[in-house]
Structure 1
């Protein structure tokens, strides 16, 4: 039977699917599509077919002196010679009727359970700092902040304890002490760091409850909620993060649609296709669905129409613009878009830990604030928000009178979002839109007749 050589291993190239190259005595090299080469051993023990991953092939290890067998263990980065030494160990275990794969798992579990909270915290920080962790890696600023909280406020109290000894009561007591000494913000971060360390342990295979999950943030400190309007730079961060969160593409588009149109969450959630007029580029919301009880017309920008076209393609059999996940006859739940925004905020905070949270209604505030900062006519903005004037006669007249101007303004708003995403200024777009809106002639006001 042919045997592998180091030269052959170095020349193995990845393919579209995992493939195997045999060595000897049941061992083979498995090559993944990403180019990782690992040594695996097929065997039967007690009537069962099993596979043991001996270790990952390392060209660097191949250049060094072969380590003694007692210095080796399954799962290490190894040379070909070292893999064969571990193979010999595994074969002896099989001959005794023992499962080397099960022994490997049990040893790993025992090692995991032996770690203290401090040990787990160190493995968490190493994992989050390691470039090999991919998307799990934290930004340096976020990692430094969490490390600082751990070193200053957590390590002295919890580092030497077993994970099982870190109870909800003990954690809550620590948070209360930190709140008194360092303030509520640090106390909240203490809970968050403990939460993340325990989640890292759970993700590593440890079966243990997370004490931080039994303590609400509000039980430690509450912060006064405030109205939130995103600045252009925050809009750019939010939309960039939105493209990478684990949410359905149509839900990400739904968030954009609400920002583009400035409507209330309920007005979008319950919207139906009979309200959409593609030919006139309008969304006609009946009075029964509006807060003030009056019909509302939303001029649709090109970007908003593109999103609706995608919705129609995906959900054409439903009466709703965006139906629920499991039932096309019901709209999405009231909490769905908020959950998407929560994940957006979490992603942004990986690089900007002080980024303030925001909800769906804050998109409407952002819409209003952005147009006001651009100094569009406040009458157009108020009507776009469906804020009725005190004078009822004026209200009926104005809703129709400024439809053309509002269409220009909302198209400009959509274009502003696009240029902000590119890191560019919207100054020229705004000036051009205002100029065109000011030139609207009476013969364009068909809705007055």
Structure 2
């Protein structure tokens, strides 16, 4: 009898399975077995990782909290399957990364990577408990279902089979803390991993890409500019140095930079926004209308194409501030000017189409194409220690960080199929 492919909805037969699916991912259309329907996709059985996803969601690992309870759960779970883990702590000892290897440790393998922290639920209007998975129709709801505990649960679900197999190529696990607040945890982990006798030869980060293989994303650098002026009564405004007005001039210059990138590039049409962008998000300054303000600060960021150097972008802004604005300010008072504070930064990711990890990920997803994504990940940092990296995971970034965050059941099933194929590949 015909079945239907979970990935594309195409009708299949036992002798002609679409996408080389395992039997449990297709079912006879004329069937009395209760089925989970997911849009145009029909699941013959429920994803196997749901219980593990529920366990992970139940840990409130908002970035401001410790993640050690979750890390202990992961370590114990891996230990129950004979897998040793190394914990890499932050300076407080309240957070940790976990790194483990399944299979032979004398050769390079493929890393599966993800962050354990989630964004806050503060001020969000949830229709159910964010820390308890709600299954409704073809979706799982809960904080982290899409970003990115769904992926972590699928990885854990694959561990028993990976541990039973005689692997010819190892699988490495890297679970980090504080990705959501600047990719802090993975930086400490990579300091250890880069000096290992054998490190991974490729990495898949399971951020939500709807199980498409992403080979690139923009980098980000964000700064806070402090403008130091001279206070006076507003009736004597020319004798003061208005910090708000000079901040406005610099913000206007940032806007002109953004317009220049939009008009002149460089461009990469594979991105939804094909050029570097500049954005000012927060401005604070002034105390009263009749006082020339002495202080103003504003936060801004560049989301830049990997071909651009963020240091050059920041240098251009500082050069304009020093050469065009600070001279004028200091003509009135020599103490006036600008100071700068780095808020956060992560490099872009740019992995070659013909890189081994790209070719493998495309094979595991049965995809012919790759994509480039707008949001940032830990991938650029991992790539910096010579581990080629791609992004591929269940869910969509459009659901991440929102109230009632959700992931489709068929996305979880697709990710399970991805890891089943990986398990078969590293066992051969």
Q: TM-score range by the shorter chain?
A: under 0.3
Question: If the length of structure 1 is used for normalisation, what is the TM-score?
Answer: 0.19
Question: Which structure: greater strand fraction?
Answer: 2
Question: If the length of structure 2 is used for normalisation, what is the TM-score?
Answer: 0.20
Structure with max Cα Rg: 1
Question: Which structure: greater helix fraction?
Answer: 1
Bigger RCO (CA 8 Å, 6+ sep): 2
